[in-house]
C-alpha cells in the first residue's frame, strides 16, 4: 500500500462524512421521546432554525439507560443528534459529559482528529466542520441540549 497523499485522505474523510450524514438523516437513531424520562431539555439554534428536544432516563447509579431526540433541523444537526444519542446511551453521566467536551474540542478545532480521543469513535467524522463556524453550532446543538438536560436546565440555545 502506498502512503495516502493528504488530498486523498481529505477526500476519503469528506466521503465518509457525507455517507454518515446521509445515513443518519435517512434513519435517525433513538428518535422520539423516552416514556419515563428523568431529564429533558429543549434546544434551539436560531441562526439555522434547528430545534430539538432531548429526553433521558438516568438510572439510580447515574447511567444513561435511555436517550431520545425529537425535533427538526438541517442535515448536520440531525445527524449529530442521532449520533449523540448512540454515543451516550449506556454510558454514565460523567462519561457523557466527558464525551461532550471531547466532541466540542473536535468540532471547534481545538483538538485535531489525530489527537482526538478514541472514545469519540464515529463522531470523528465531524472533524472537518471546524472550518465552518456557523455549522459548528448545528453540530453542537444536541450536545448542548444533552448537557442542559443533565444539569437540570430546561432550555439550551447556541446563542
Residues within the interface to Zn ion (CB under 5 A):
48, 50, 73-74, 77, 138
- H helices of 58-92, in order, are 75-88
- Sequence length of the chain is 159
Cβ pair 127, 118 in contact under 8 A: no
- What is the smallest separation between the CB atom of 99 and Zn ion, expressed in angstroms? 21
CA distances from 13 to 30, 71, 125 (A): 25, 28, 7
Let me know: does 57 contact 66? Beta carbons within 8 Å: yes
Q: Smallest distance, Å, CB 149 to Zn ion?
A: 19
Nearer Cβ to Zn ion (28/73): 73
Closest contact distance (angstroms) between CB of 116 and Zn ion is 22
55 vs 77, beta carbon nearer Zn ion: 77
Decide whether 58 or 106 has the Cβ nearer to Zn ion: 106
Amino acid at each position: 500500500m502506498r502512503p495516502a497523499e493528504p488530498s486523498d485522505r481529505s477526500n476519503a474523510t469528506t466521503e465518509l462524512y457525507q455517507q454518515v450524514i446521509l445515513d443518519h438523516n435517512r434513519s435517525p437513531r433513538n428518535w422520539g421521546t423516552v416514556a419515563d424520562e428523568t431529564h429533558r431539555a429543549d434546544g434551539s439554534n436560531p441562526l439555522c432554525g434547528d430545534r430539538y428536544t432531548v429526553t433521558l432516563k438516568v438510572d439510580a447509579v447515574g447511567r444513561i439507560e435511555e436517550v431520545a431526540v425529537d425535533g427538526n433541523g438541517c442535515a448536520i444537526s440531525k445527524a449529530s443528534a442521532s449520533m449523540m444519542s448512540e454515543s451516550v446511551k449506556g454510558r454514565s453521566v460523567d462519561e457523557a459529559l466527558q464525551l461532550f467536551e471531547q466532541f466540542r474540542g473536535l468540532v471547534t478545532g481545538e483538538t485535531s482528529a489525530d489527537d482526538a480521543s478514541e472514545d469519540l469513535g464515529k463522531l470523528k467524522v465531524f472533524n472537518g466542520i471546524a472550518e465552518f463556524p456557523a455549522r459548528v453550532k448545528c453540530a453542537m446543538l444536541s450536545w448542548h441540549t444533552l448537557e442542559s438536560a443533565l444539569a437540570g436546565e430546561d432550555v439550551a440555545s447556541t446563542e
